[in-house]
Amino acid sequence: MEGRHTVGGLMNRLLEDFEDSMQPFWECATAGENSLGEIIDEKENFGIQLDVRNFRPEELSVKMQDGRLLVEGHHEERNDRHGSVEQHFIRKYTMPKNVLQDSLESHLSDQGILRITAKKKAVENSQFKNIPIQFKSDKQ
């Protein structure tokens, strides 16, 4: 029965072709699953970690602008067997007021984890003042 196909076989082939054509988009979508990153807020340090493994160092930038940290990654358009793919992301973080912006550093690991860290201002030991509680009856 050459030349004859079952409906199930045709549907399977159609779905496989669709899945193959969508592969670049799935890769882009899953690359961004952890794209918000992890925020690390410790007593003396503040940090952000982002998984940027799909970007080369020269495709990334980290900037401070008006108290906001901007992290950007951009792939130029490239062709693959299904068409062309371009990736771009921008993450903006409002920095806590106690972060020393001059101490900001960024490091990219071999595994593609971008770590941005900064020192925090020293917390002043606050003096406690006892406030006496006065009792006043509501009955007159």
Q: Is 74 annotated as a binding residue?
A: no
Integer Cα distance of 1 and 3 in angstroms: 6
Find out whether 88 is annotated in a ligand binding site. Answer: no
CA–CA–CA angle 93, 94, 99 (5° rounding): 110
Among 25, 99, 98, 39, smallest CA distance to 71 is for 39
Query: Alpha carbon of 106 to those of 35, 63, 80, 86, 113: distances in Å?
Result: 16, 10, 32, 24, 10
Tell me the binding residues for Zn(2+): 75, 77, 82
Tell me the binding residues: 75, 77, 82
